[in-house]
Amino acid sequence: MIKLVGLIPLFPLIGFLINGFFGKKLSKSLSGLIACAAILASFIVSVGIFMEARHLPEHSQIVNLFSWINAGTLDIPFEFVVDPLSTWFLLIITGIGFLIHVYSTSYMHDDEGFSRFFTYLNLFVFFMLLLVLGNNFLIMFVGWEGVGLCSYLLIGFWFKNTDYNNAARKAFVMNRIGDLGFLLGILLIFVTFGSISYDEVFSKAGTAEHGTITAIALLLFIGAMGKSAQIPLYTWLPDAMAGPTPVSALIHAATMVTAGIYMIVRSNVFYSISETASAVVAVVGVATALFAATIGLFQNDIKKILAYSTVSQLGLMFLGLGVGAYSSSVFHVTTHAFFKALLFLGAGSVIHAMGGEQDVRKMGGLKKALPITFMTMLLGTIAISGVPGFSGFFSKDEILAHTYEHSPILWFFGMLTSMLTAFYMFRLMFLTFWGSFRGTKEQHHHLHESPKAMTFPLIVLAILSVAGGVLGLPHFWGFHNFIGDHLEPLILRKNPSTLPHDTEWMLMGIASLAALAVIYVAYIIYRKRHIIPLNENDKMPALQKTIYHKYYVDEIYDAVIRKPVDVISHVFYKFVDKQIIDGLVEGVGTSVKGIGSVVRLAQQGDISFYIITMMLGVIGILLFTFLL
């Protein structure tokens, strides 16, 4: 079965090709069916491979598909690696991908670009699978770039709107900046170790110079910064909400943005060796988490709230990576995928019911009209807030415990972030589902629960959000930590937790109490006092205004980076392109004409002149041949 791993990316690729070439001719239901069936097939094969891979003796097997690059001494085969990490991510990608595909068949039902949507979605899943399955950094990079491309295509899906196109372009360009760092990291790896296959590189990691390892780790992290929206390359993620909601759910919550985390977990040996790099990762992670959480407090667009929440949670995951809690971060990736996808799909359901309205200030009291959506979103929100017993609680707690062990200050900021997360998530819930309806009369008329194709994935994800905690139950409760044990072979430098059990209980208690307290505060503010967020034109306190405008980060980027680039490009256009390059090209033509007009004078048309010249030539030849 493991040898069939090549099929897993193949099914989405076939789906992409069929929908890409014949999509217009197929009926909508057939098109959607093909796409969903492809992902389902991949999921089934993934499950099979996952089961089998757990019993592998060395915990990993490499499946060679074909010899890819073979030039001189450079030999890069196209290999897939089947090991705990890749199989785990396979399940997440194909499983949640399938649910989102099913959801999309209903959500995008009225859209005329239906088959194009599924083409892009399948292509995205294909590249994401390549990313996690590859056995060397180059295949990962191919998948990395590919998902960036699909992200661009999908964010700008409704391409007739210029703002959406700009958002797509912004995402792509920021990604590329990160990719430059990533590529430099790969090149440095190749130069240092002479290979880019995981097994060869990681086994030799100990032999390289410490400074080089730090450089490699930091360069790779720059790539992760771009792909997983960390400071300073995070501003594309909120703008990426311009894409259809299933896209936000799949790409910007569950899969693509987790590629950075996958990459770091895969290369964990570098980060274990280099403490500097790990420290950078942790600090950037927690800073992003806190920063994004504060912005999320004042956002009014339902999808933007979720977007900033994603950035914040990703920051927490990087915090976990930075302190060496690799399996905890993967655990949080998993639970986050469950509840964030659920929340996004639920938001899509709400937007669908509201006829396209996304502003929470215009919603309210939807729990009667959208019962299933309400119930599932509530479960998701409880999970993300870290209420004990739900999945989010266990994963977040693990990260925070490891953080506390590493540095209490970082733990404090992480704790603060969790509290803010609970606050703004429940703010969203209260404003959307409770209270009286604040929208227009037609919207009220239009309210209806979503069709089964949309509610079914919501229900499944809700169940997973609630029960997902079993994957990583803590040791000190006496359980086996499934995911920790599962990923254990991958972590090359062990870093077991040495916290005494009392401290762990205390941390858990603090977290739970804080979460519940914050939820109560949110209840007070938004339910009891019925406070509704201000409109744009109303006066706001200065601090709130700054945070509402996202700390003016976009404007800063515009002034500091974009304007100089604009000036430089203008100079290049006016001067270099027009004068130098065009001058050169035209100069070639002009000079040929000039030389021609001079050489032409030799054509006298007078035959004796030709004969004299010929004679002289013959004399010259004979001279050289005979006499010299």
In angstroms, give the least distance from the CB of 602 to other proteins.
9
Q: How far apart are CA 364 and CA 414, in angstroms?
A: 31
* d(C-alpha 92, C-alpha 254), whole Å: 8
Nearest CB to other proteins, comparing residues 543 and 601? 601
Task: Determine how many CB atoms are found less than 10 A away from the CB of residue 362.
Answer: 17
Please say which residue, 159 or 609, places its beta carbon nearer to other proteins: 609
- Cβ neighbours of residue 219 under 8 Å, at least 6 residues apart? 181, 182, 184, 185, 188
Total residues found in the chain within this entry: 628
Residues 427/390, Cβ–Cβ less than 8 Å:
no
Question: Minimum Å distance from CB 624 to other proteins?
Answer: 10
Least separation in angstroms between CB 591 and other proteins: 19
Residues forming the site for other proteins (CB under 8 A): 600-601, 603-608, 611-612, 615-616, 618-619, 622-623, 626-627
Residue with smaller CB distance to other proteins, 371 or 620: 620
Least distance between other proteins and beta carbon 566 (Å): 51
Residue 610 CB, shortest distance to other proteins, in Å, is 10
* Least spacing, CB of residue 598 vs other proteins, in Å: 11
Q: Is the Cβ of residue 560 or residue 622 nearer to other proteins in the bound state?
A: 622
The amino acid at 207: T
What is the rounded CA–CA span in Å between residue 409 and residue 418? 14
Smallest gap from residue 584 Cβ to other proteins (A): 28
**What is the smallest separation between the CB atom of 617 and other proteins, expressed in angstroms?**
10
Phi-psi region of 220 (alpha: psi -120 to 50; beta: other; left: phi over 0): alpha
Question: Residues 322, 279: contact at Cβ < 8 Å?
Answer: yes
Give the Cα separation of 496 and 482 in Å (integer).
Answer: 15
Cβ partners under 8 Å of residue 223, min gap 6: 144, 178, 179, 181, 182, 183, 185, 260, 263
Nearest distance, CB of residue 625 and other proteins, angstroms: 9
Q: Which helix (H) or strand (E) holds 67?
A: strand 61-71
Q: Which is nearer to other proteins, 71 or 607 (CB)?
A: 607
Shorter beta-carbon distance to other proteins: residue 537 or 603: 603
Residue closer to other proteins, measured from CB, 552 or 609 = 609
Q: What's the min distance (Å) between Cβ of 609 and other proteins?
A: 8
Q: Which residues of 397-421 are buried (b: 16+ CB within 10 A; e: fewer)?
A: bbbbbbbbbbbeebbebbbbbbbbb
Task: Tell me how far, at minimum, the Cβ of 590 lies from other proteins, in Å.
Answer: 19
Buried b (16+ CB within 10 A) or exposed e, 293-306: bbbbbbbbbbbbbb
Minimum CB distance to other proteins smaller for 584 or for 601: 601
In the complex with other proteins, the residue whose CB is nearer, 498 or 603, is 603
DSSP states along 539-555: ---HHHHHHHTGGGHHH
In the complex, least distance from residue 583 CB atom to other proteins, rounded to whole angstroms: 28
Specify the residue, 496 or 605, whose C-beta has the smaller distance to other proteins.
Answer: 605
Distances (CA, A) of 75 to 72, 166, 194, 195: 8, 40, 10, 9
Nearer to other proteins, 542 or 599 (CB): 599
Nearer to other proteins, 571 or 619 (CB): 619
Question: Minimal distance in Å, beta carbon 594 to other proteins?
Answer: 15
Instruction: Give the list of residues 6+ apart from residue 398 with CB closer than 8 angstroms, or none.
Output: 320, 325, 328, 331, 332, 472, 474
Nearer to other proteins among residue 568 and residue 616 (C-beta): 616
- Name the minimum Å distance from CB 618 to other proteins: 7
Q: How many CB atoms lie within 10 A of CB 608?
A: 8
Q: What is the CA radius of gyration of the chain?
A: 29
Q: Toward other proteins, which CB reaches closer, 568 or 621?
A: 621
State the Cα–Cα distance between residues 81 and 406, nearest whole angstrom: 32
The end-to-end CA distance of the chain, in Å, is 81
Task: Please count the CA atoms within 13 angstroms of the CA of 65 that sit on its side-chain side.
Answer: 22
Q: How far are the Cα atoms of 123, 140, 148, 149, 560 from residue 143, in angstroms, in the given order?
A: 10, 5, 8, 10, 31
Residue 324 zone, left/alpha/beta (φ > 0; ψ -120 to 50; rest):
left
Give the SS3 label for residue 79. Answer: strand
Q: Which is nearer to other proteins, 173 or 623 (CB)?
A: 623
Considering beta carbons, is residue 560 or 618 the nearer one to other proteins? 618
Smallest distance, Å, CB 613 to other proteins?
9
Reading the block at residue 287, the tokens are 């800073």
Q: Kindly state the smallest distance separating residue 614's Cβ from other proteins, in Å.
A: 10
3-state SS of 324-380 is CCHHHHHHHHHHHHHHHHHHHHHHHHHHHHCCCCCEHHHCCCCCCCCHHHHHHHHHH
